[in-house]
A and B are shown apart, each in its own frame.
Chain A
């Protein structure tokens, strides 16, 4: 079956004009959602220096998007608790399909394509049960094919592991219900985890942090080519404590938690928004919009490298070299050496995430 699918997809790419590649839209390096001065929310394609190559309207504030591995298509999610996502042809701006969460479910704002794009996976909330699920969609027709447990409560980010057969899911542990908006319903009893499942939903491994850190909500993920997983956290406990907001995990091993020196860690307000490995994979970084900071660590020695003050920084990704970031003030910058360099200022407010079009890590 897979072979035939590959063949058909390849054929379509080779001979039929409707399937356009990323090159046809100016070969963007990144996708990001933003709020524009006219009040519109849009999904933009950015080049390596942050110049906007295209921008397409979204029906509401976006969150993350997922880029198809080779077609110029993106699935853009509404911010949680949205019940729909749209599949956009980034060449024409046309809406190709809508993903609608069935009754009793809403999306969390993150999803991932399979290696060849034949399947799409999204994190969802089964909100009456207060349990997380992963939904499975056909990557061409975007029909919903089924769902399986995410292995926890409040799944947020999810990534495909480099083996192409495993999903790693950040179950943030926070129960919410659409009747009560984004209110957190279970903070005293929350228990986040990091879960590895195969593509049919079999739970392969699950990691929980020690109980003292049960309020450190595991929310966002970055995966290196060799399978090292970085996870970023958001602290829901006392604001007079400054627990780690960044962890590294390799399947089958114990997690390692990374903190900056106290003076820097204490300014983060317990909140990391995005996480990414650098282009060479040797650096891992988190952005902390509440502390207006970006922290870099050595991904191998786990040593803290440095901290930068950046107003409302949140979007983060691997650039062609080093790291790139976006801010809620419209800035796009690169961090390749010792100091950040702003390469673009757009008249918009960049939203939480910067989505690389091709895996550079």
Chain B
């Protein structure tokens, strides 16, 4: 095969070539990525076990296990590439936003038909992706609309099936991440990343899309517009977790940002100050389901939180992006 012509039009700073990215890639993989998926596998397994012992929707043990596992997923969900993305796993964990109400439809259909898929994990994994994962479980545990549908036996079996499916999914992700780890730490042949820079860019993308999702979707969906706020669109509002997800994602992204900017203390400090401000704002809001978007007084504070996340995005793209040779990716980051 002909060797492709390499056109040297790279206007990257020389440091972008010279730096050895191996320590950062190793650090992010070993201390940021793998432990998160290991934690998730553990808490998802606990969730499945708890649901077997007690499947009553209002059970404090079951709700606590749901909360812990969901926390672990939100803290890992920005790592949405490689094994997380394979086989639609991320959607099977969290089908949100659900703009067309597919989750309640899928659950109602399963209940109405008393679908036997709940008896077999493999069969349940083949059902609609909207009826799987934490948002399906949330509706079964917290939404009064499902408290009376069908028989209590079937509802119990459905709750256990969703929990077992989350467990299987989390276990598969954790196992696959351990296999995938060397592809990130040793780019080149046998890796989707041809170079250390490409692997760094993947991690940077996880940071920037994670920030974007939290600002634009987690906060943007309920904020809607001033004239038309949408409190019913807040993420996981039924279990009062909307604001918690914003905070958890910021904490996870702060950790990733710190590791990615390790070689550049000035940038690391800027990013950390930005995260500190945003997390402080999130913690000062006492509105777990973000219902306050509809009230001009409290809305202002939620908008300020959103703005502080946008500020972090700016620092990430203008300062950190440059050091990773990403400033040149005017088109590659555009996504249009």
A residues near B (Cβ < 8 Å) are: 35, 63, 79-80, 109, 130, 156, 175, 177, 179-183, 185-189, 219, 234, 237-240, 261, 263-264, 266-267, 271, 273, 289-290, 292-293, 306-314, 327-331, 333, 339-340, 342, 345, 349-352
Contact = CB atoms under 8 A, between A and B. Distances in A.
7 contacts: A79-B336, A181-B220, A238-B85, A273-B336, A306-B2, A307-B4, A310-B7
Contacts of B148: none
Contact of B86 (A238, A306, A342): A238
Interface string B128-160: 011000000000000000000000000000000
Contact of A189 (B6, B102, B330): B102
B23 interface: no
B216 A328 contact: no
A63 B81 contact: no
B100 A63 contact: no
A138 to B, nearest CB: 27
A239 B81 contact: yes
Contact of B99 (A109, A177, A238, A327): A177
Given A109-B336, A180-B97, A311 B9 contact: yes
A130 B130 CA distance: 18
Given A179-B223, A182-B335, A238 B87 contact: yes
A102 B59 CA distance: 50
Contacts of A352: 331, 334, 336
Interface in B299-336: 328-332, 334-336
Contacts, number: 139
Given A179-B224, A238-B87, A188 B129 contact: yes
A339 B5 contact: yes
A191 to B, nearest CB: 13
Contacts of A351: 330-331, 334
Given A181-B217, A189-B100, 10 more contacts: A35-B330, A179-B225, A187-B91, A290-B332, A306-B4, A312-B332, A330-B11, A350-B331, A351-B330, A352-B336
Contacts of A330: 11
Interface string B232-245: 00000000000000
B213 A240 contact: no
A309 B2 CA distance: 12
Interface size class of B (residues with CB under 8 A): 35 or more
A183 B95 contact: no
Given A130-B100, A180-B216, A273-B331, A309 B4 contact: yes
Contacts of A349: 330
B192 interface: yes
B223 A185 contact: no
Contacts of B212: 181-183
Nearest to B85: A238
B1 interface: yes
A185 B97 contact: yes
B213 to A, nearest CB: 6
A122 B97 CA distance: 28
B336 A328 contact: no
A181 B216 contact: yes
B82 interface: yes
A186 B216 contact: no
A-B interface, 6 closest residue pairs, ranked by CB to CB distance from nearest = A328-B330, A314-B331, A181-B216, A289-B331, A289-B332, A349-B330
Interface string B58-101: 00000000000000000000000110011110010001010110
Contacts of A331: 7, 9
B222 to A, nearest CB: 9
Contacts of A219: 336
Contacts of B130: 188
A292 B9 CA distance: 11
Contacts of A342: 7, 9
Nearest to B230: A179
A313 B331 CA distance: 7
Given A180-B216, A188-B130, A312-B328, A266 B192 contact: yes
Contacts of A267: 194
B32 interface: no
B21 interface: no
Contact of A180 (B9, B217, B328): B217
